[in-house]
Amino acid sequence: MKTIITHANVITVNDQNEVIADGAVAFEGNRITYVGPTPGDLSGYDQVIDGRHKYVLPGLINTHGHAGMSLLRGYADDLPLQEWLEEKMWPLEAQFTREQVKWGTHLSLIEMIRSGTTTFVDMYDHMGAVAEAVASSGMRARLCRGVIGLTSEEERRRKLEEATTFAREWNQQADGRITTMMAPHAPYTCPPDYIMQIVERAEVLNLPIHIHMSETRFEVEQNVKDYGVRPVAHLENLGVFRRPTLVAHAVHLTDEEIETLAKYDVKVSHNVVSNLKLASGVARVPEMLAKGIDVSLGTDSSASNNNLNLFEELKLAAILHKGVTYNPVAVPAEEALRMATRYGAACVFQPEALGSLEVGKQADMIMLDASQAHYHPAHNPVSHVVYAANGHDVTDSIVAGTFLMRNRELLTIDEEKAVSEANRMFQLLKR
Amino acid sequence: MKTIITHANVITVNDQNEVIADGAVAFEGNRITYVGPTPGDLSGYDQVIDGRHKYVLPGLINTHGHAGMSLLRGYADDLPLQEWLEEKMWPLEAQFTREQVKWGTHLSLIEMIRSGTTTFVDMYDHMGAVAEAVASSGMRARLCRGVIGLTSEEERRRKLEEATTFAREWNQQADGRITTMMAPHAPYTCPPDYIMQIVERAEVLNLPIHIHMSETRFEVEQNVKDYGVRPVAHLENLGVFRRPTLVAHAVHLTDEEIETLAKYDVKVSHNVVSNLKLASGVARVPEMLAKGIDVSLGTDSSASNNNLNLFEELKLAAILHKGVTYNPVAVPAEEALRMATRYGAACVFQPEALGSLEVGKQADMIMLDASQAHYHPAHNPVSHVVYAANGHDVTDSIVAGTFLMRNRELLTIDEEKAVSEANRMFQLLKR
């Protein structure tokens, strides 16, 4: 089946940041076969989709989250991270069964597809349920069983085996849409030797590491108290960065730590909304970008966001760093868009396959309804996408050449059932 | 005509922040006649609207903007305020005729109605065109001709007369939906004696003052150089604060200046997105709120935002101050919602008539589609409105008891024509 989208504003996010007016994107199977001006002859295509008044751009890549936690949206706000985690999240999450995670994840998939995310990273528990939901939804994801080591030795072993089995069995499944990682939850929730064991498994499986790091000042201070060094040196010492690594948050970094991350090519997921809402602080994004670090965007979970609309992160990443550094070019619009796409692709360790509209890459793309007032006057599409657009403008979502949403209609998820089951699962929790 | 909306989640934003599950709001003419549980007997109503799966809340109040400038959306981004103003905005705005302002304003009205704003403040030129657009659209607005005094004495006199005539003739027009103010543009664009003349006119007309103030560090430093004092003392000395005053921005304030604003009951429009995007800084909102200052939300114009979706300001005001002060309760959800509604009503000097759903107040309200995934699990509506909702969730907008939008369909503006005319007007400008 050969499909072509015609007469659209095509925002390629290629090396030249090319934007093609009256452009077209074609794909066959899961690959992009053409990106350029709308051809005069369309006879070679089985399906021609009119892209008039639409923008077509690479699907957004959400590089950190916990999809199952959408079940806790609005359950606890306006609290400090540690209290929020220990007194609110963890006691409810401890009651989560596979069913809670399944329906929380469905809720998240609906939100993400509707707001333009085509690939996401998920670190959580009951990952089999998450992987099955990803497989059936048609989404692309890099998944990992996040392990917290504040438990008995036996429990730690059990979790490590579970994480290993999950990572081995699900890697490259669902036609390659699902890949995996190994994930020690954080330096403050995993004893050093446990982190080393997890890294060893990642080595054996040849998989990347995903970990929370330096999210709060408290955590950094605690790390120094416990281990005599800040989290970056701690993880470096434990050998984590010898594996390809994606760290989430990275809010509190010294210049030296930024150098270290750059040296090891550590990838960073910037969770701008969550970091503000939990009062964690503002990450040094312009400095990291200047050092060539791949900084991408993550929503974190709906419990600390409280949605999974990556367009909010996109705009906020573009404006926040300007405002707090008094530098109006701190993160220009084009750079913010790269964070949401290309750098996201690097952060899920698939830079060749994802993140831009180029021939040979995976056909992961979204269409925006640019007929609306906030896309006018009709010029400067990149500016409009970053500063004026919204996740709800997404009309179509395509992953690996398959439509997951067409004209706002979800094609792979029963939305009504998912919403109803998510509510039922939430009601079952003791609060 | 007696209308009632039934079976909705009614977020009243009254003194008790009451949220009524299975609630109802009724109105007759332009007034609210009932707020409470859905009554069993609906026979007294001419029109019964099913609010199932909807939230009903007071219409949002956007307390600072320049609607005509939507014509310059995306024309210049990622520049410092002074350069952006002097090299980009002003040269194009100098070419604006009444037609440019008319269609730029129509574009803005579409965006605002679609995203839940029912009252807005506008400071601009060609205000007759703005007022006519407001009158025909059914919106509510507090309007003022912003005067810049960096001109000849004669030109200054002409502008002052124009501003005065506009303020006198349009106050309380359109069934009272339009009110006016007098507006010296800013301390740095108006010589002191000119500001005093404008204040005098406001005195005669018994109208409030609206002015930009302390938006950038540069502006504050310049004020000290030029007049020996910072902007707050400068305006205090000129007698501005003896009139009811709404200042826009108020980013750079000392403790003493906050005290002064509180003493005079000066109202503040917090333009959080614009302040970040233009790299102006972060206003001291928690400190102002703590002193009892009415701090409300403004989008500023689409040229520095780049949309008029006040839900973005609502969420950002709630999360930004947490993040930059490391205080997770800096601006709690309920307080943020008050900023967008009640405090907005105070900032347009109509606290008795607007800002909450209470019997006797104006029937200005919006309905949100809470059936969507990001409103679930279905609990804690205030949290969902502030942290999860989006302007595009607004299905219905009612101002003074009249529907301006019903089920996402605009009833008072020809959207296609407005978008097309706005593009034509932009094309006519020399760039």
For residue B302, pLDDT beyond 90 = yes
What pLDDT was estimated at residue B51? Answer: 98
Contacts of A379 in chain B (CB under 8 A): 74-75, 426
Residue range B2-59+362-410, CATH number? 2.30.40.10
Please indicate whether, in this complex, the C-beta atoms of B373 and A418 are within 8 angstroms of each other.
Answer: yes
Average pLDDT over residues B129-158: 97
Q: Torsion angle of alpha carbons B157, B160, B164, B166, nearest 10°?
A: 110
Give residues 172 to 231 of A whose Cβ lies within 8 Å of B: 217
Is residue A374 less than 8 Å (CB to CB) from chain B?
yes
A88: burial class by Cβ within 10 Å (0-12, 13-18, 19+)? Answer: middle
Please indicate whether, in this complex, the C-beta atoms of B374 and A316 are within 8 angstroms of each other.
Answer: no
A–B CB contacts, 8 A cutoff, strictly below:
209
Distance, in Å, from the CA atom of A214 to the CA atom of A220, rounded to the nearest integer, reads 6
- Looking at the DSSP bridge assignments, the partners of residue A23 are A8, A37
Site from B374, B409, B413, B423 to mutate, A interface, most A CB atoms within 10 angstroms: B374
Which CATH superfamily includes the segment(s) A2-58+363-410? Answer: Urease, subunit C, domain 1 (2.30.40.10)
For residue B226, pLDDT beyond 90 = yes
**pTM tops 0.90, yes or no:** yes
What pLDDT was estimated at residue A1? Answer: 94
Q: Which two three-digit tokens encode residue B252?
A: 């750079």
**pLDDT tens digits, chain A, 431 residues: what are they?**
999 999 999 999 999 999 999 999 999 999 999 999 999 999 999 999 999 999 999 999 999 999 999 999 999 999 877 888 889 998 999 999 999 999 999 999 999 999 999 999 999 999 999 999 999 999 999 999 999 999 999 999 999 999 999 999 999 999 999 999 999 999 999 999 999 999 999 999 999 999 999 999 999 999 999 999 999 999 999 999 999 999 999 999 999 999 999 999 999 999 999 999 999 999 999 999 999 999 999 999 999 999 999 999 999 999 999 999 999 999 999 999 999 999 999 999 999 999 999 999 999 999 999 999 999 999 899 999 999 999 999 999 999 999 999 999 999 999 999 999 999 999 999 98
Give residues 90 to 149 of B whose Cβ lies within 8 Å of A: 107, 110-111, 114
Residue range B60-347, CATH number? 3.20.20.140
Buried b or exposed e, range B204-230, using 16+ CB within 10 angstroms: eeebbbbbbbbbbeebbeebeeebeeb
Average pLDDT over residues B203-213: 98
How far, in Å, are A125, A186, A318, B23, B403 from residue A240 at the CA level?
21, 12, 30, 55, 59
For residue B81, pLDDT beyond 80 = no
Site from A306, A419, A423 to mutate, B interface, most B CB atoms within 10 angstroms: A306
What pLDDT was estimated at residue B84? Answer: 86
For residue B275, pLDDT beyond 80 = yes
Average pLDDT over residues B142-156: 96
Higher per-residue confidence, B379 vs B23: B23
% pLDDT > 90, chain B: 97
> Which of B77, B320, B380 comes nearest A387 by C-beta?
B77
Q: What is the ipTM of this complex?
A: 0.97
Average pLDDT over residues B278-296: 97
What pLDDT was estimated at residue A330? Answer: 95
Closest chain A residue to B394, measured at CA = A392
For residue B303, pLDDT beyond 90 = yes
Using DSSP bridges, classify how beta strands A394-399 and A402-406 pair: parallel, antiparallel or unpaired.
antiparallel
Please indicate whether, in this complex, the C-beta atoms of A390 and B309 are within 8 angstroms of each other.
Answer: yes
Please indicate whether, in this complex, the C-beta atoms of A377 and B276 are within 8 angstroms of each other.
Answer: no
What pLDDT was estimated at residue B202? Answer: 98
Distance, in Å, from the CA atom of A210 to the CA atom of A339, rounded to the nearest integer, reads 18
Q: Given pLDDT bands bounded at 50, 70 and 90, which one contains residue B112?
A: very high
Q: Which residues contact A397 (CB under 8 A, 6 or more apart)?
A: A59, A113, A114, A116, A118, A366, A367, A403, A404, A405
Average pLDDT over residues B374-387: 96
Show me where the domains of chain B are located.
2-59+362-410, 60-347
